[in-house]
Copies of this chain bind each other. A is one copy, B any other.
Amino acid sequence: MERLTVTLGERSYPITIAAGLFSDPASFGPLKDGDQTMLVTNETLAPLYLDKVRSVLEQAGVKVDSVILPDGEQFKSLAVLDTVFTALLEKPHGRDTTLIALGGGVVGDLTGFAAASYQRGVRFIQVPTTLLSQVDSSVGGKTAVNHPLGKNMIGAFYQPASVVVDLDCLQTLPARELASGLAEVIKYGIILDGDFFSWLEEHLDALLALDGKALAWCIRRCCELKAEVVAADERESGLRALLNLGHTFGHAIEAEMGYGNWLHGEAVAAGMVMAARTTQRLGNLSESEVQRIITLLQRAGLPVTGPKEMSADAYMPHMMRDKKVLAGELRLVLPLAIGKSEMRGGVPHDVVLSAIADCQQA
């Protein structure tokens, strides 16, 4: 078992990472006999895990109601959020209730925002079931729903009371989703920790084989790295932007190809290679370092080139809508070495376009 604390003053919380946590009521941290909870999950996960979690909590005397959402990013909406409020009010649940988010990023983000805003804030426990949500959304306190005019446009910064990562969930995760999570894992190595990148080169096969010890340490290290960044910059003014490596390019791919056709991690993987090629063209990264990045991503089953139907010119309009754009100037997170990165403005557009072209499929 791995256990760490995200340090945020009085809003600090523990993350517990192990197999078999759903069989142990002690996993669900601050919950105790007599507590009322609303478990939010989706229709794909409910048949797999809902009864199991419900029964272990009920054995501990915790009351468990549930809401089952439709599965998919298109349901991360205000309308679906409202169904959670309705479920809470119909029972009714008071200010002392606890929301439990059992699912990936969509369930976690939506449930977190429901917890942030129900009666102006109730307790909330994250139970991320995908590798991506385990290494990404379980730290940082970002909650949100989408608006038809923009992703994650409505939300709150709101911290969970605890995060429970049961590694057994990864056994039922589709291989493409696992790879998508690994893209974010590899990202932490590139931007912040060269030793972790080397560890990944050594242990990637173990991770792909779902080796429990390797997974637990890997998830712990990603959470630690993200927690350090978030603790230093909770509201995203500077340092936290580094976590966006590959995302400016990746969001362009997602938007151009239609959300869901390229998984987020797949788009970020290709985007990280584009960022690396940009730095290389600026003289800050060697070909051998770029090749280490490409090789590791490929071993994880991730794309390292953009969609062949998308020209370099098609990226720029999307990239100029990025949240990091300031006064009309594109700003990019660039890897300066494996384990070191910075945000840089004023990169000439022709360099960026050439770097994208470097990553076009033949």
Interface residues of A (CB under 8 A from B): 78, 81-82, 85-86, 89-90, 92, 94-95, 113, 116-121, 142-144, 147-150, 153-157, 235, 323
Residue pair A85, B147 in contact (C-beta under 8 Å)? yes
Residue pair B118, A149 in contact (C-beta under 8 Å)? no
Residue pair A120, B155 in contact (C-beta under 8 Å)? yes
Residue pair A117, B323 in contact (C-beta under 8 Å)? no
Residue pair A153, B119 in contact (C-beta under 8 Å)? yes
Residue pair B89, A120 in contact (C-beta under 8 Å)? no
Residues of chain B contacted by A82 (CB below 8 angstroms): 78, 147
Residue pair A154, B118 in contact (C-beta under 8 Å)? yes
Interchain nearest-CB distance for A240 vs B (Å): 12
Known: A78-B78, A157-B121. A149 touches B116 (CB 8 A): no
CA distance A143 to B119 in the complex (A): 10
- Main DSSP-derived SS at the A contact region: mixed
CA distance A86 to B154 in the complex (A): 11
Interchain nearest-CB distance for A46 vs B (Å): 24
CA distance A113 to B81 in the complex (A): 15
CA distance A209 to B142 in the complex (A): 50
Most B-side CB within 10 Å, residue of A94, A117, A120, A156: A120
Residue pair B117, A149 in contact (C-beta under 8 Å)? no
Q: Which residue of B78, B89, B148, B323 contacts A95 across the interface (Cβ within 8 Å)?
A: B323
Name 9 interchain pairs, CB-CB below 8 A, sorted by A.
A78-B81, A85-B154, A86-B148, A89-B147, A89-B150, A92-B150, A117-B155, A117-B156, A121-B157
Residues of chain B contacted by A143 (CB below 8 angstroms): 120
CA distance A90 to B113 in the complex (A): 23
Residues of chain B contacted by A121 (CB below 8 angstroms): 156-157, 235
User: Closest chain B residue to A119 by CB distance?
Assistant: B153
Known: A78-B82, A117-B117. A89 touches B156 (CB 8 A): no
Interchain nearest-CB distance for A151 vs B (Å): 11
Residues of chain B contacted by A92 (CB below 8 angstroms): 149-150
CA distance A78 to B95 in the complex (A): 20
Residues of chain B contacted by A148 (CB below 8 angstroms): 86
CA distance A154 to B85 in the complex (A): 8
